[in-house]
Structure 1
Amino acid sequence: MNTQIGDFDAMAFYRALDAERESKHLNWKQLAAQTGVSASTLTRMAQGRRPDADSLAKLSAWAGLNPADYVDRIGVIQSAESLTKVLAYFRADANLTKEAAVALEEMVQAAYNRLKKKN
């Protein structure tokens, strides 16, 4: 299936949700209880299925994720802009020292430059 403008990347959303769950040291059953989203919905999401609108809203609110960030806007976001945004998150993260944020920035920037598409 080809990606088109406006497609929701359910697996990317699920991976971000999983990262947030892990950062809070929760299992999926605990996440289901905290959000009111059924465990079966979470299982279906792990298999690549999309959540219903209510579940998406609950999970987004719980994790602080913007669903629009997971809608494909092919060519809309320039690579430099996306890298800049990611690096800004590291600088703003209260869990990181300034030195740690700089180290992460350097690693991500090196990996990004190595892996990005060549024009």
Structure 2
Amino acid sequence: MSGRMDLSRLHDALDAQRRARDLSWRQLAEEAGVSPSLLSRMGNGQRPDLDGFIALVQWLGTPAEEFMSHSGDDQAAATPAHGPTPELETQLAMLLRARDDLPEADKEYLLEIVGATMRRIKHHAGAAGTDVAGPAASSDAGFGRLPQ
């Protein structure tokens, strides 16, 4: 099964962030480091090149996987309700690594706080006999460091 970029999802996310930050498409392009014509072409249904895609998802601060779909599958089949979900720690680490406005030490500190919180949730869920924290609480692995 091959994966494809979900252009409409990417464009919708860009538009939502653009509106939230009260930017024009030209300002978004400047901040993201892409040409305004790239955004115009995307609005007309053309996919960006790889460098443009990377610049845009980095500007959004969202993992690229959020904008992937699987050919031959509808969205519901591509992301089953009870299918594997990336660990919360992994998702947060990816988001923090994409930020350039935080020093590395602060990123590490934030991940330590989240790790302690997840351990507490796991402990309390285990004591109550339920797993309210889901798959993210199942492991503390890799929480002291950001994945490379």
Same-fold call, TM cutoff 0.5 = yes
Structure 2 counterpart of 1:79, which letter?
Answer: A
**Could you list the runs of 5+ residues in structure 2 that have no partner in the other structure?**
84-148
In the TM superposition, what is the alpha-carbon distance from 1:21 to its structure 2 partner?
Answer: 0.9
Go from structure 1 to structure 2 and tell me whether the alpha carbon gap of 1:49 and 1:27 turns closer, same or farther (over 3 Å shift): same
Amino acid at match of 1:48: G
Question: Structure 1 20/77 Cα, relative in aligned 2: closer, same or farther at 3 Å?
Answer: same
Q: What is the CA-CA distance between 1:5 and the residue it aligns to?
A: 4.6
Note the C-alpha offset of 1:79.
3.0
Give the Cα separation in 1 of the matches to 2:47 and 2:62: 15
Figure out how many residues of one structure are paired with residues of the other and give that number. 79
The corresponding residue for 2:21 is: 24
What residue ranges of structure 1 are gaps of 5+ in the alignment? Answer: 82-119
Partner of 1:49: 46
Instruction: State the TM-score, normalized to the length of structure 2.
Output: 0.48
SS at match of 1:65: coil
TM-score by length of 1: 0.59
- CA drift of 1:7 comes to 2.1
1:1-119 equivalence runs, <5 A: 5-73=2-70, 74=73, 75-79=77-81
Q: Deviations over 1:66-97 (max 9, x none)?
A: 2212211432422367xxxxxxxxxxxxxxxx
Deviation sequence 1:27-58 (CA, Å, 0-9, x none): 01111111110000000000111111111111
The alignment yields a C-alpha RMSD, in angstroms, of 2.0
Q: Which has the larger radius of gyration?
A: 2
SS at match of 1:72: strand
**Which structure ranks higher in relative contact order (CA pairs < 8 Å, sequence separation ≥ 6)?**
1
Identity %: 35
If each structure's strand is expressed as a fraction of its own residues, which one has the higher value?
A: 2
Alpha-carbon distance between aligned partners in 2 of 1:80 and 1:22, rounded to the nearest angstrom? 33
Separation (CA, whole Å) in 1 of partners of 2:5 and 2:32: 21
